[in-house]
Amino acid sequence: MACFALLAGLWLIALPAFGQDASYFESQHMQRLDEAAPDFLLSDPYGSTLNLSELRGHTVILHFWATWCEPCRVELPTLEGLAHQMAERGVILLAVAIDTEADAARVQRYAHDLGVSFPVYLAREGAISDRYWSWGVPVTYLIDPGGRLIARSLGPRNWASASMQTLITQIAVPVTPKSQESISR
C-alpha cells in the first residue's frame, strides 16, 4: 500500500513535467519553447494598460491575429469558449491584433462582429516586440505562470476542441482567478 502511495505521489509530481514535454506539445501540433517571454505593454481602447510581468502566477495564452487574416477570422471565435472556461483556472487570454492600418475601434468592432467578447488589443498601441509574430499570423504562445514561453502554435486551430481544453487544463496552475474584465478595465 505504501509502495502504491509512493508511486502515485511520484506520478502526480511527474505529471506537470510530462505534460510540458516536447513530444506532448508535438502531439498537439505545437512547438515546444523554453525561454523567458519578452515583456510587453498592451493598451486597450479604454486606456488601461497591461504588462506581462503583472500576470506572473497566471498561465497566459498570447494570441496574435489580424483583420486581414482569413484563417484568423475562423479561429478567433474558437477562443471565446476557452477563455471563459479557463478564466476560473486563472488562465488569461490576450488577443493582440497586429494590424498596421486598422485602428483600435475598428479592430474591436471586427472582433465583436465575430462574437468575441474578450478584450482585444492592438499591438501598435502598446510596446510589444514584433519577434512574437515574425512567423506570420495566426500564431499563439503559451506562457507559464513563471513568465516563460513553453509552446507556440503556428496557424489556425480549434481552441474549443476537447484536446485543447485538456492541454490548457494540464498546463494551468490553479491560482486565484483574475478575470478578463479585471485585467482590462
Partner 1 sequence: MNNSLIGFAVAATLGVTNATACDYCLISQGISPLLVQNGAGLKVAQRYTRLDNVYEGTDKVDNPGVKEEYWATELSGFYGFSERFLVLVNVPLRKTRGDGELIEGPDGKPESEHMTGGAAGLGDLSVLGRYTLFSHHTLDTSTLLAGVFGLKFPTGSTNQHSDQGEYLDAHLQLGTGSTDLLLGVSANHVLGRYSFSTNLLDSITGEGETGDTRHRFGNSLNYDVTGKYRVTPTVVGKSPNELFLSLGVNGEYRRREKLDGDTVPDSGGNTIYLTPGIQYLAGTHWIVETTWQYAVYHDLNETQLGENYRLVASATYLF
Q: Which residues pair with 139 in a beta bridge?
A: 64, 154
Task: Provide the b/e sequence for 32-50 (b: ≥16 CB within 10 Å).
Answer: bbeeebeebebbbbeeeeb
Work out whether 130 is an interface residue with partner 1 (CB under 8 A).
Answer: yes
Work out whether 133 is an interface residue with partner 1 (CB under 8 A).
Answer: yes
Residue in the block written with cell 479557463: 86
Work out whether 149 is an interface residue with partner 1 (CB under 8 A).
Answer: yes
CB of 107 closer than 8 Å to CB of 122: yes
Please identify, using beta-carbon distances, which residue of 32 and 178 lies nearer to partner 1. 32
Work out whether 155 is an interface residue with partner 1 (CB under 8 A).
Answer: yes
User: What's the chain's length in residues?
Assistant: 185
Extract the C-alpha cell encoding 122: 492592438
In whole angstroms, give the CA distance from residue 59 to residue 171: 8
Please identify, using beta-carbon distances, which residue of 24 and 116 lies nearer to partner 1. 24
- Angle in degrees, 0-180, between the axes of helices 70-87 and 162-171, rounded to the nearest 10: 50
Binding mask 14-33 for partner 1 (x = CB under 8 A): --------x---xx-xxxxx
Please identify, using beta-carbon distances, which residue of 75 and 86 lies nearer to partner 1. 75
Per CB under 8 A, the list member of 88, 136, 161, 182 interacting with partner 1 is: 136
Per CB under 8 A, the list member of 70, 115, 174, 176 interacting with partner 1 is: 70
Binding stretches for partner 1 (CB under 8 A): 22, 26-27, 29-33, 35, 37-38, 66, 68-71, 98-101, 123-124, 130-137, 149, 152, 155
